[in-house]
Chain A
Amino acid sequence: MFKFNTCKKENCKSYVCLDSPYCYGHSPNKSELLREMYRKIREDEEIRDVSFAHGEFEGLDFSSKVISSSYFAWCTFRNINFNKANIRTSFFQFCFFDNCNFEESDIRYSVFSGSKIIKTTFHNSMLIHNNFSGIDAWFVDFSVSDLYYTTFSSAGIRDTSFEDCNLKKANFSNTERRRVNFKYSNFEDTIN
């Protein structure tokens, strides 16, 4: 798991960024940390036990990478390719995903809660045991995905497709849904 050490700055409860004693927001050498993170993403096959909250990423390629036990809360991801990525027990809560591609990814036991997800596709993915509660989804494609035991409670979902999905035990309680397509999916097996 990533380090549970909190930022050295007084009253800051964020987790430290990489090996720095500060979180990304309070780090005096942000650009160096970002450069180190970009290097990790480019060179390492597996991103494991990494903490990088509040980071901003654009145009990166995470395709076919393994991301495990990592913490990316409050991050911004723009035009990022997560195609065929394997994500395990990682935390992406309160993030902003804009125009990202998670096609054919395998994501389990991960948290996307409170994130804003725009024009992003999860088409043909394994999304088992994930937490999407409180997300704000707009033009998101979850079609042909397995969403077993994934929770969307308290989410706002608009112009989004869940076509031909396995929704067994998926939780849609207290969601606000507009123009959401559940065609060919087992919506009757959801909790709502």
Chain B
Amino acid sequence: MRIYQHFSAVGFCNTYLIGKEDGSDAILIDPGQVDNDLITLIESHHFKLKTVLLTHRHVSHSKGVKTLLKIYNPNIFAFASSVYDFPVIALEDRMYNKMTLKELEFKFDCNGIEVEAIHLPGHCIDSVVWKMDHALFTGDTLLAGKIGSTPGYMERSLLVNSINTKLMSLNDNFLVFPGHGAPTTILCEKLFNHDLMNEIASPWMKKQIRIDRINRF
């Protein structure tokens, strides 16, 4: 699997291009802006852009979709369809059981790469983390050294709890590619992310504190 970054000057958003090898079908995550550099990146590796994945609804992460539809006509995957003015394959009905509201595992094969969607509300109600092999594309939910901004305390608590239960339980070596800023890993965030450390309700921290106490005695 190859991962290429593109930095969009509009919204300062990271766009990721993922393909198995040069010339294969490719996936694009969060096209904030389509410019010459991004087209050159796709074309220089002879990728066939078949899929676009959106992490959430914000314009800085999805503004380039309409241009891509004109050039490559890819399938667009996002959590909710109602918020976009272009055709989207929505996951909301597939990720939750309508009767029990229980979250369902949602995986699909995207050009030979297994993609798993993890719903992580907080920054946005439709925030999704895309997991491919050992790489996580977190959008604005988890960034290097901090968590994404939230509109209020309730959403912040929801986001921290979602990160702790759904992401921090993954392998420590997993690579995190956020929507803004530098990449990171799950272990680095466990150790150095103060937003996660400060949250008393964090089950991972509680477990860690328990281990520390046992070690001390």
Contact = CB atoms under 8 A, between A and B. Distances in A.
B2 A15 contact: no
Interface string B166-195: 000001110100001111110110011110
Given A89-B183, A153-B144, 5 more contacts: A4-B133, A93-B187, A109-B182, A151-B144, A151-B182
Interface residues of B, number: 29
Nearest to A191: B146
B191 A114 contact: yes
A153 B171 contact: no
Contact of B192 (A1, A89, A114, A150): A114
Interface residues of A, number: 31
Interface in B97-139: 133-135
A69 B3 contact: yes
A89 B182 contact: no
A14 interface: yes
A65 interface: no
Interface string A119-144: 00000000001110110000000000
Contacts of A20: none
Contact of A131 (B12, B171, B183, B187): B183
A113 B183 CA distance: 10
Contacts of A154: 145, 191-194
Given A1-B3, A13-B172, A131 B191 contact: no
Given A1-B2, A109-B5, A130 B146 contact: no
B188 A151 contact: no
A112 to B, nearest CB: 9
26 contacts: A1-B1, A1-B2, A4-B1, A4-B134, A4-B135, A14-B173, A15-B173, A91-B183, A91-B185, A93-B185, A110-B182, A111-B182, A111-B183, A114-B191, A129-B5, A129-B14, A131-B181, A131-B182, A149-B12, A151-B144, A151-B145, A151-B182, A154-B192, A169-B12, A173-B145, A173-B146
B77 interface: no
Contacts of B180: 149
Interface of B: 1-3, 5, 7, 12, 14, 133-135, 144-146, 171-173, 175, 180-185, 187-188, 191-194
A134 B190 CA distance: 11
Contacts of B185: 91, 93, 111, 113
B108 to A, nearest CB: 19
A174 interface: yes
A109 B12 CA distance: 14
